[in-house]
Amino acid sequence: MIKGVLFDLGGTLISYRNVDTVIESILLETKQKKLTRLSIQELIILYKKASIAVTHSYIDKRFYLHKNLFLDIFKRFTDFADIEADNEFFKWFSQRHEFLLIQSFSLIKNARKTLTDLKKKNLTIGIVSNIDNYMLKQILKKNEIEHLVDFDLSSESARSCKPDCKIFEIARRKAGLEKSELLFVGDSMEHDIVGSNKYGILNVFFSEKNITAPLQTGKYYEKPNYTIEDLSDLSSLIFELNR
């Protein structure tokens, strides 16, 4: 019987719809600060190239801080773009990137309704996210959903990043439930689905329409137990599982 639901955050409850706009804004500011002759379109291509390269180098790490991942992507981008950058410029990027990302994140359609419905059914609700502590807390606060979950767990706090099993085990302990009583909902095949399969809990794949999860390599893929098209379908799925 399902007694608790663990949600990924980005791409599952929080939309990635504005992330590309954030990156474009930072690259435009970079162009203005560094007076590079490269066009904004060329800078975007180089940033995507850097993101792919660095993400592949991180995929098998059991733990990392996301601020370091983002900074390494930007550093690789400056190498590709032949932009001279010092520590002050990298510090500017980290602060600007974090601020703009937090401001860009909003709830996915039916996220609040789904959390409220599950809460009314007395299910234990947790958020388990590959994210650093500060950003997680700020996103929850901005979108006013702290009161709708029983706990949240960042990869920084767990010292473990999905698909590593440690973060799932810590989440299970926080929920106070057995593996058989938990359901994991996420949008990343190689973080959420591969990780929850490996750990041994049921999972549901949900991805916002026309939005692809960022920081994916395509290296790992496993079939989810269930797939839903809308978060509002989750309550009926749990009802069927508990019949």
Do 165 and 196 meet the contact criterion of CB atoms below 8 Å apart?
Answer: no
pLDDT score, position 209: 87
Q: Residue 131: pLDDT above 90?
A: yes
Q: Residue 112: pLDDT above 90?
A: yes
Average pLDDT over residues 23-44: 95
Do 195 and 99 meet the contact criterion of CB atoms below 8 Å apart?
Answer: no
pLDDT score, position 118: 97
Lowest-confidence pick of 30-39, 142-151, 161-170, 197-206: 30-39
Q: Residue 214: pLDDT above 90?
A: no
**Close Cβ partners of 232 (under 8 Å, ≥ 6 residues apart):** 110, 113, 114
Residue 4 backbone dihedrals phi, psi, to 5 degrees: -150, 150
Rounded mean pLDDT of the chain?
Answer: 96
Q: Residue 57: pLDDT above 90?
A: yes
Q: Residue 19: pLDDT above 90?
A: yes
pLDDT score, position 211: 84
pLDDT score, position 213: 82
Average pLDDT over residues 202-227: 91
Q: Residue 103: pLDDT above 90?
A: yes
pLDDT score, position 110: 97
pLDDT score, position 49: 97
pLDDT score, position 79: 97
Q: Residue 25: pLDDT above 90?
A: yes
CA 59 to CA 223: how far, in whole Å? Answer: 19
